[in-house]
Structures are given as C-alpha cells and as structure tokens.
C-alpha cells in the first residue's frame, strides 16, 4: 500500500470508478424490470411490485451486508456481491415466470446493499476526517450519476435489441466492476479493530449498545429517506395529473435529475468546512417546502421550476446520511452499525411513497404530496435537534468543543469519532 496521504483523487480508481460502473448497470436495469414482468404476463400492479422488489431486496440485505463486511472485509464482500449479482442477473434475463423474475430482482437488490455498504465502510475508515464529507458525498454522487445515465445507456441497448439485453448490460457492468476490484489495489489498508481470529460482534449487540442513537437520530434518518424517495414518485404522478405527456414528464424528470447530480461535491465541501447541519437542514427544508408547493403547479413551466428546486434540495444532501453514519459509527463495529443505519434510510425510502400511494387511492394525491412536504420540515427539525448530540462535526462550534474536550489528538484532526462513539466502544469492549 502507498504511504502517501489518502486524497479524493487517489480514491477514483479503487472506489469511485467501480461504484459508478456498478450503479450504471443497476440504473439501466431498474426501468425495464416492470416491462419484463409485463412481457411474462404480469398485471400492471404485479409489474409494479416486481420493480419494488429491487428496493425490498436492498432493505433485506442491509443488515446481512454489515455482518458480511465485518466478517470477511469490505473488498471480499464486494467481490462476493458481484458474483451473486452475476447469477441473479442471469436468472432475471432467463426468467420464464413472474415469480422467478421477482426472486432475481430481490436478490439483485440485496447485492447492491452489500456493495454500497462495503464502500461506505471502507471510506469511513481510510479517509482523513477533514475530507470525510467530500469523499462520501462524491460516493453518493457516483450512485446518482450511475442512476441518471444508466437508463439512457439502457435505452440505447433497447433500441437495437430485446429487453433481455439490458440484463446482459447490467451483467457486463458487474463483471467490469469485479475486474477493477481485483486489479486495482485499495489506497490504504483499513485498521483491524478486532484481534485476528476473534469473532465479530453480533448485530444484535451493536443495536442494543446503540439503541439511543437509532431511536433518536435513526428516526431522523428514516424521515430523510422517506422524503427523498417520495420525490421520485410524486413528480411523474403529479405531471400525469396535470395532463402532461409521457415525453414531457421524462424531460422534466431528467432536468431535475441533472440538477441533482451537479451539486454533490459543493455540498460535501460545505459539510467539511462549516459542519453537517449547514447542508442537512437546508436540504430537507428546500425539499419539504418545494414538495408542499408541487400541488400548486398548474402547467409545464411551473412544474419544471419546482422539479428543479426539488432536485437541488435533494442534490445538496448527497452523502449526508452516509457522512452522519460515519461520524457516529463505533470504529470497532462500524460495518454492523452502518448496516442498521442503512436499514433506517432504506426503510424510510420504502415507506414514503406508500404514504402518497395511500393518499392517492383515497382520492387526494395533493394531500399525500403535501403531507410528505410536512415530513420534510419535520426531518429538518429532527436533524437540527439530534445531529449536534451525536456528531462532533455538526457545526464548527461542536467541532471546536469536541477538540478541546478530547485534547491535542482531536485538535489535530486525527480523531474522527464523536464522544458518543467512544462511549459505545467502551460499552462493547
């Protein structure tokens, strides 16, 4: 391993590039899952369920992903996930029934959970504290860029072949990701936090030790995840309500996605320099307020403006949940903690659109959207209340207080743990 300091540039080949390639495959696959189900004879509702199973698989995989990474290491966990994804994608391409396709989609979502958690845990360990938010925001940005350009690449593949070819495209991306992981070494070796040969701490033990974090800041994470996911659901639904054509809706969605993908690095820089709250709270306020304003739009222009503002609010929050997780995760049980942390976020992502769907089924889509706008405001308040309690990097004020309390080592930036994390380490040891 190189002895030179870890920088964002040095992380491109080993971290950001494989993440981007892998997410391009996932991004290309997501839009065609429902089409595949329809081709196998599924109803519209069943086809939507098959698409949702990709997210369900990610939720189911979050906690096992943390346990796997803690047991075998981040890089091996990703290679295992890539191998399983190759099997599940092949199964999806060759599916002859809806249940086979649903099983493949669920398993593919679980492999995505393993891959993303492993990269987050690795970055949390090796990146200098003063670059943490920028690194994790960039990692989140790679996920968003992949999700943004993946469907376009998938559309090009569909233009010259059947739907099945998109699965082969995703499989190719997975294979390339595995090759990069095999031939490109990590820039630094993570610190071994447990003696060689000792068993890793169980997830249940970690949850018990960190229950106050999960019952407070974890609830805020659930709210943030729900508002973020709802943004993707309500834009096309409200555009259809306004009578916009599918092509116009796609353009609006694409413009909002572009704004989203362009703001991840500046937000990380602000978080590193001014503190996490200077991005976390504005992100939720902008997203919540603009979502509440969405039912007030009545034409394509106003819809596009609000969609762009929603994209901005979501984009500046890129990496905020990963950064907060890195701030509060106990180093000795980081992977297990982050698995539960991601479960909170992904559970919120699944629950938010369900609220809107329930409201729409009762005849008031606008009320459902406005409700989720209120959830965005509540999320901002929860972050403002709980982030300073658990993260030493909430603001420059909390950072300075933490440095004074911890002494010279913390003041020089060598300590990235919050006081809560250190107390948790003593509990677990």
- Domains of the chain (ranges plus CATH)? 12-188 (1.20.1250.20), 203-429 (1.20.1250.20)
Predicted TM-score (pTM) of this structure:
0.84
Longest alpha-carbon distance in the chain: 66
For the stretch 136-156, what's the b/e string if a residue is b when 16 or more beta carbons lie within 10 angstroms of its beta carbon? Answer: bbbbbbbbbbbbbbbbebbee
Spans in the chain with pLDDT lower than 50: 1-3, 409-429
Total residues belonging to the chain: 429
Residue range 87-135, pLDDT digits in tens: 999 999 999 999 999 999 999 999 999 998 988 888 888 888 889 999 9
**pLDDT on residue 38:** 84
Q: With beta carbons less than 8 A apart as the criterion, state whether 61 and 110 touch.
A: yes
Q: With beta carbons less than 8 A apart as the criterion, state whether 373 and 291 touch.
A: yes
Dihedral (CA of 88, 93, 94, 99) sign: positive
> What single DSSP character describes residue 198?
P
> What single DSSP character describes residue 14?
I
**pLDDT on residue 412:** 43
**pLDDT on residue 423:** 41
Q: In angstroms, rounded to a whole number, what is the distance separating the alpha carbons of residues 379 and 317?
A: 12
């Amino acid at each position: 391993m190189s002895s030179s300091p870890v920088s964002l540039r040095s992380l491109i080949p080993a971290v950001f590039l494989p993440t981007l390639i892998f997410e391009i495959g996932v991004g290309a696959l997501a839009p065609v899952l429902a089409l595949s189900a329809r081709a196998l004879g599924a109803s519209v509702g069943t086809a939507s369920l098959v698409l949702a199973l990709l997210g369900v698989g990610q939720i189911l995989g979050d906690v096992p992903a943390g346990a796997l990474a803690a047991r075998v290491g981040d890089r091996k966990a990703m290679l295992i996930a890539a191998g399983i994804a190759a099997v599940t994608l092949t199964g999806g391409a060759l599916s002859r029934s809806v249940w086979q396709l649903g099983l493949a989609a669920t398993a593919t979502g679980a492999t995505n959970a393993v891959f993303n958690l492993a990269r987050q845990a690795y970055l949390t360990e090796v990146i200098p504290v003063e670059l943490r938010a920028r690194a994790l925001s960039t990692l989140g940005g790679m996920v968003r860029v992949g999700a943004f350009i993946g469907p376009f690449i998938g559309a090009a593949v569909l233009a010259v072949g059947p739907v099945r070819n998109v699965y082969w495209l995703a499989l190719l991306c997975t294979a390339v990701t595995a090759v990069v992981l095999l031939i490109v070494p990590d820039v630094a070796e993570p610190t071994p936090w447990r003696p060689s040969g000792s068993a890793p701490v169980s997830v249940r033990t970690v949850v018990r030790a960190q229950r106050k974090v999960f019952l407070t800041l974890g609830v805020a994470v659930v709210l943030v995840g729900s508002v973020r996911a709802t943004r993707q659901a309500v834009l096309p639904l409200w555009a259809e309500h306004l009578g916009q054509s599918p092509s116009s809706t796609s353009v609006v969605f694409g413009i909002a996605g572009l704004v989203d993908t362009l703001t991840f690095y500046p937000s990380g820089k602000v978080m590193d320099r001014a503190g996490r709250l200077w991005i976390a709270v504005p992100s939720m306020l902008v997203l919540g307020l603009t979502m509440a304003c969405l039912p007030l739009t009545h034409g394509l222009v106003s819809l596009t403006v609000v969609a762009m503002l929603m994209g901005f609010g979501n984009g500046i929050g890129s990496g905020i949940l990963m950064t907060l997780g890195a701030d509060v995760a106990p180093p000795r049980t980081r992977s297990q903690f982050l698995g539960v942390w991601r479960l909170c976020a992904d559970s919120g992502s699944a629950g938010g659109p369900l609220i809107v769907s329930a409201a729409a089924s009762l005849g008031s889509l606008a009320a459902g959207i406005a409700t989720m706008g209120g959830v965005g405001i509540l999320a901002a308040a929860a972050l403002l209340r709980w982030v300073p309690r658990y993260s030493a990097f909430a603001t420059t004020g909390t950072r300075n207080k933490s440095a004074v309390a911890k002494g010279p080592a913390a003041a020089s930036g060598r300590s990235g743990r919050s006081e809560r994390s250190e107390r948790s380490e003593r509990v677990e040891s």
